[in-house]
């Protein structure tokens, strides 16, 4: 992930900003850059974060387990792959 925006803010005093401005973060997925805000919204929907944890689908739980794993296994990847492909389609189409 990288911060986009005008360089040099606070640099003259040797101070880098701690927080970015809205719309200033981008994430690279498969060689293409996407605004973090778009990716964040898709992730929230696919992970079903609007629902209580016990009401989330098994697929959303599998994706969460994959994303939170320190070293995801092949089985975790296989279970998360349909949701990962959905994320890719949704951020790529928008």
Q: Which residue range is the domain that position 35 belongs to?
A: 2-93
Closest CA relative to residue 64, chosen from 42, 82, 47: 47
Verdict on whether the full-model pTM lies above 0.75: no
The predicted-structure confidence for 7-62, as pLDDT tens digits, reads as follows: 555 455 555 555 556 667 888 877 888 888 888 999 999 999 999 999 999 999 99
In total, how many domains does the chain have?
1
Taking the CA atoms of the chain, what radius of gyration do you get in angstroms? Answer: 17
- Residue 12 confidence (pLDDT): 52
Please name the helix (run of DSSP H) or strand (run of DSSP E) that holds residue 28, with its range, or none. strand 25-29
In whole angstroms, how far apart are CA 5 and each of 9, 11, 27?
A: 10, 14, 14
The predicted-structure confidence for 64-85, as pLDDT tens digits, reads as follows: 999 999 999 999 999 999 999 9
- Residue 30 confidence (pLDDT): 77
């Amino acid at each position: 992930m990288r911060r986009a925006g005008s360089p040099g803010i606070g640099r003259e005093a040797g101070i880098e900003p701690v927080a970015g401005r809205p719309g200033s973060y981008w994430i690279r997925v498969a060689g293409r850059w996407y605004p973090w805000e778009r990716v964040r919204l898709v992730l929230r929907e696919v992970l079903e974060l609007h629902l209580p944890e016990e009401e989330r689908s098994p697929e959303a739980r599998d994706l969460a387990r994959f994303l939170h794993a320190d070293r995801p296994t092949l089985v975790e990847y296989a279970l998360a792959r349909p949701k990962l492909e959905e994320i890719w389609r949704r951020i790529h189409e928008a």
